[in-house]
Amino acid sequence: MAEMTDVFFVDGMRTPFGRAGEKGMYWNTRADDLVVKAIIGLMERNGDVPKDRIDDVAIAATSQTGDQGLTLGRTAAILAGLPMTVPGLAVERMCAGAMTSVTTMGASIGVGMYDLALAGGVEHMGRHPIGGNVDPNPRFVAEKLVDPGALNMGVTAERIHDRFPHLTKERADRFGAASQHKVQAAYEAGKIQPDLVPVAVKDADGAWGLATEDEGRRPETTVEGLATLKTPFRPHGRVTAGTSSPLTDGATISLLAGADAVKEFGLTPKMRMVSFAFAGVEPEIMGIGPIPSTEKALKKAGLTIDDIGLFELNEAFAIQVISLLDHFGIADDDPRVNPWGGAIAVGHPLAASGVRLMIQLAAQFAERPDVRYGLTAMCVGLGQGGSVIWENPFFDGKKKRK
């Protein structure tokens, strides 16, 4: 009989993230090919895992249409060369798609139904703009269930500023600039590149090249420069392009395993799943969603926020991250938070981003045996939050040397 088991994040990889639109490096690349490339890269790096032992493949996409449709987990598995015996499914929870892929596959492993699974996400926002092919039920507006502005993520970010006036534009600008600088420092130190899968790309003239780095970075960003940017979501507002994640294309994938599979194949897990939670909030201020989901995840784990030694928080907007930090009494510039920067710099390809957070946390765990627990958390469109708490298998109980 199947038994409950620990769930491990064995490994994760992603494509470089590209700017969405005609000038972006993936304009002539299909969305499903991005996730296929990520799967191939991950399986090649984990060659001791038999492909026919993968129990399921969960791939998320927010816009499940065109080259992001047709049950992505199954089609991507076939295209990536996994055996026809490996099933797959598609997942949709807007920004938390890949995170939900991981928690869904992780839960299946945890109850003993699966041994190994792949979980990730993809978003080609150039081909499929958010909300570009949807038809919201008119009851949402007619019955005033949701304010029409709730479907505009930038408007919801402005409303966090409204609700919490002490979370100022100046604080958001500082956070946005810091994200750019931290990502650049991580690149210069070679922290991010090992988990990127190079992707062959074709430009408008038909010339081939190789995508090896995140395209949208702006390391020259200054706080003074951000102060002069326009506020596109509201006249005289506080949210700018410099404190928002850019529209982005990219794919992520992770390999999850149960304890028996780890032992059978001699794997070295990078993280152990401790708990996860999702929560709902008013769609009009969706950015505060990770606050209740994190509280739920901490309670399920029997931990407090003080137990978390590293935070990977998705920077959909600077104000969204700052609101969570403020709630838990954490400084905007706390070194535990997004030490290698975040989505403001590298981009946020919606359904793919959750696994990017996990990939970065896993890499940091390997460098930080003094840290036992880490958190990956993100806000979710239409008023949700998602949080996953992880344990560092390299934790040695020793305090970090100064």
Element (H, E) at 386: strand 384-391
Task: Identify whether 379 is a catalytic site residue.
Answer: yes
Residue with tokens 């006036």: 165
**AA identity, residue 5:** T
What is the distance of C-alpha 263 from the center of its chain? 28
* Helices and strands counted in the chain (H then E): 12, 12
| Alpha-carbon span 97 to 68, nearest angstrom | 13
Query: Rounded to whole angstroms, what are the CA distances from 10 to 118, 143, 185, 376, 392?
Result: 10, 47, 26, 16, 12
Task: Identify whether 348 is a catalytic site residue.
Answer: yes
CA 338, 321, 12, 31 torsion: positive or negative? negative
| Alpha-carbon span 378 to 96, nearest angstrom | 7
Task: Identify whether 95 is a catalytic site residue.
Answer: yes
Q: How many CB atoms lie within 10 A of CB 292?
A: 18
- The single residue of 95, 124, 128, 161 carrying the catalytic annotation is 95
- The single residue of 124, 128, 161, 348 carrying the catalytic annotation is 348
Do residues 59 and 90 touch, judged by C-beta distance below 8 A? yes
- The single residue of 124, 128, 161, 379 carrying the catalytic annotation is 379
Instruction: Give me the active site residues, please.
Output: 95, 348, 379
